[in-house]
Amino acid sequence: MKPVFVSHEEYQNFVMDQLQTHYSGGILTLVNKDWPVITKLWITDLSDITVRLSDVYGARGPEPRDPASMLRSYLLLLLTNPTMSITEWVDELHRVPLYAILSGFEPSDTPGVGTFHDFFARLWASDKKNVTHKKKSKKSRKKKAKKGKKGEKAPTKPGRVQRLVEWIIPRLDQKKELPSDRLFDFFQSQILTISAKLGLLGNVDQLNVAGDGTPVVTGSHIRSKPTCNCRAQGIANCKHGRKYSQPDCDSGWDSHREKYFNGYHLYMINACDSPYDLPLYPRLNLASCHDSVSFVVSWAEFSQRFNLGAVDKMLLDAAHDAEAIYQLLDQKRVEPIIDLNKRAKKNLETIGDIQISPEGVPICPIGKKMKPNGYDHTQNRQKWRCPLACGTKNTCENPCSTAKYGRTYHTKSKDNLRLFPKTSRETDKWKLIYKRRTSVERSNKREKIDYHLEAGNHRSTMMWYVRIFGIMMCQHIDAWYTHQEDELRFLKDHIFAQIA
């Protein structure tokens, strides 16, 4: 049957009553370490998940567990014991009454392992737990990514990003439903919205975001089994397909650990102006997927789904320095702040006597780099000025212009989106903005190190998305708690007074 809606106020009353019942007699006590997690769940309203999942429950049968309590219990697992499995967590709910109470369950009536997995399946809008089919032919199996140097990512095939962008631009306004949409819709409406109201995402009307990829190891080896009995018949090299336990994973090169790994390439988009480095959108790709390829797909999905504001700038590292990516961002009128991947060493020739450096800076006839002198919004062009001219003074021995102001030159973004960005890379403004790109790396660190993302040991893409979105929710909840810590101090005194 359909789940019964339990409001957040009813949950708070339940928690207070249970704490008075079980912790006011002196047998069980609360310590200071318990208060942060009590407060975090007290201020987090998850009741809307019951309304959103109502359609996936049948009209008949036994009454199901409260979906909000199930989700709250999973977030409590991540907040307290992120390395635990669901089986171990079920035992923990029996051993620690506080965890059962904070989840929304009576200590004597907690859900089992099957109930949790049944709930997770309802968060996934597909009957299949993986995106691709488990059965694959041997020819479709990916080869190992080319080994690179430390800090260098495996190269992608020439022209691949350009072809992908050309294919995806006409489809930017054609939203394709994804199995993870239920998770993101709830995350956006109930988590991101609160963070935006608290001002934790920056200016949502002109949002600056950053993107970066990180490897997620799911297993030491690619596990598969045959779909035929050729080996029993003595045929060693048959061409029949194999059944893979993790069909959405393959092998890739981890430039940080300097070794191959099996798993996913997680691409994360975050609010880079957030004081807490808060995440916005995750996307799981094959481990062999290059950052630039992952970004194109992730950006297309994110731009179709994010509706809390307008993205103004996109901050990316040099791995994304492809002309096609500039074109993709230009379609949504988003300003790219991308570090250059210096592929050329020679200056580019122009019609006149000015050359363009590989960094996109005009070079005067005597070989000096010209200085940026503001952006002309009326003409949509960047102004450059003679480096030796200052006011009416010109220290150049052989000036190339008779103007007292000195030689000027203009570059337009439409001529070359990559070399002539709206904000010149030579300006302090560009460098100040680009410094915020590292926020996405700190966000990834929180997910992988603090919340032990790779400890999930899951075999399906569904469960990895559930874990990732759960960790992202916890990151935002942590930020709410820290941001309002002074105002929430009264809550501890209030609860203590009630149960004393």
**pLDDT digits over 369-392, tens only?**
888 888 888 888 889 888 887 666
Residues 6+ apart with CB under 8 A from 173: 304
Per the prediction, the chain carries an average pLDDT of: 89
Task: Tell me which DSSP letter residue 100 carries.
Answer: H
Distance CA 394, CA 386 (A): 9
Distance CA 161, CA 296 (A): 8
* pLDDT at residue 140 is higher than 60: no
Q: Across residues 328-356, what is the average pLDDT?
A: 86
331 token code pair: 């379609």
* pLDDT at residue 420 is higher than 70: yes
Task: Tell me which DSSP letter residue 58 carries.
Answer: -
Q: Across residues 424-431, what is the average pLDDT?
A: 91
| Res. 344 pLDDT band, cuts 50 70 90 | low
Instruction: Return the H-helix or E-strand segment holding 210.
Output: strand 207-219
- pLDDT-wise least confident of 152-156, 311-315, 339-343, 487-491: 152-156
Query: What is the model's pLDDT at position 154?
Result: 64
- pLDDT-wise least confident of 111-115, 219-223, 250-254: 219-223
78 token code pair: 């991540």
Distance CA 250, CA 247 (A): 8
CB 335 within 8 A of CB 422: yes
CB 278 within 8 A of CB 158: no
Q: Amino acid identity of 47? A: S
Query: What is the model's pLDDT at position 212?
Result: 96
* pLDDT at residue 49 is higher than 80: yes
Query: What is the model's pLDDT at position 407?
Result: 84
Q: Across residues 116-136, what is the average pLDDT?
A: 92
Query: What is the model's pLDDT at position 146?
Result: 53
Query: What is the model's pLDDT at position 293?
Result: 95
Distances (CA, A) of 209 to 218, 270, 276, 408, 436: 28, 6, 13, 33, 9
* pLDDT at residue 147 is higher than 80: no
* pLDDT at residue 164 is higher than 80: yes
| Res. 492 pLDDT band, cuts 50 70 90 | confident
Question: Over pLDDT 90: what percentage of the chain?
Answer: 60
- pLDDT-wise least confident of 160-174, 226-240, 423-437: 226-240
Q: What are phi and psi of 386, to 5 degrees?
A: -55, 130
What pLDDT digit, counting tens, does each position of 198-217 carry? 999 999 999 999 999 999 99
* pLDDT at residue 142 is higher than 80: no
| Res. 434 pLDDT band, cuts 50 70 90 | very high
| Res. 259 pLDDT band, cuts 50 70 90 | confident
Distance CA 164, CA 325 (A): 10
Q: How many CA atoms lie within 13 A of 248 on its CB side?
A: 21
* pLDDT at residue 174 is higher than 70: yes
- Number of other CB atoms surrounding residue 252 within 10 Å: 27
Choice between 224 and 5, residue whose per-residue pLDDT is larger: 5
Distance CA 488, CA 200 (A): 17
Query: What is the model's pLDDT at position 475?
Result: 98
Q: What are phi and psi of 226, to 5 degrees?
A: -70, 155
Query: What is the model's pLDDT at position 392?
Result: 63
Give the strands of the sheet with 408-412, arranged side by side: 371-376, 381-385, 408-412
Query: What is the model's pLDDT at position 12?
Result: 95
Query: What is the model's pLDDT at position 151?
Result: 57
Choice between 387 and 484, residue whose per-residue pLDDT is larger: 484
Query: What is the model's pLDDT at position 152?
Result: 61
Residues of 318-332 as b/e, b for ≥16 C-beta within 10 angstroms? Answer: ebbbbebbbbbbeee
Most confident stretch, 12-26, 82-96, 152-166: 82-96
| Res. 138 pLDDT band, cuts 50 70 90 | low
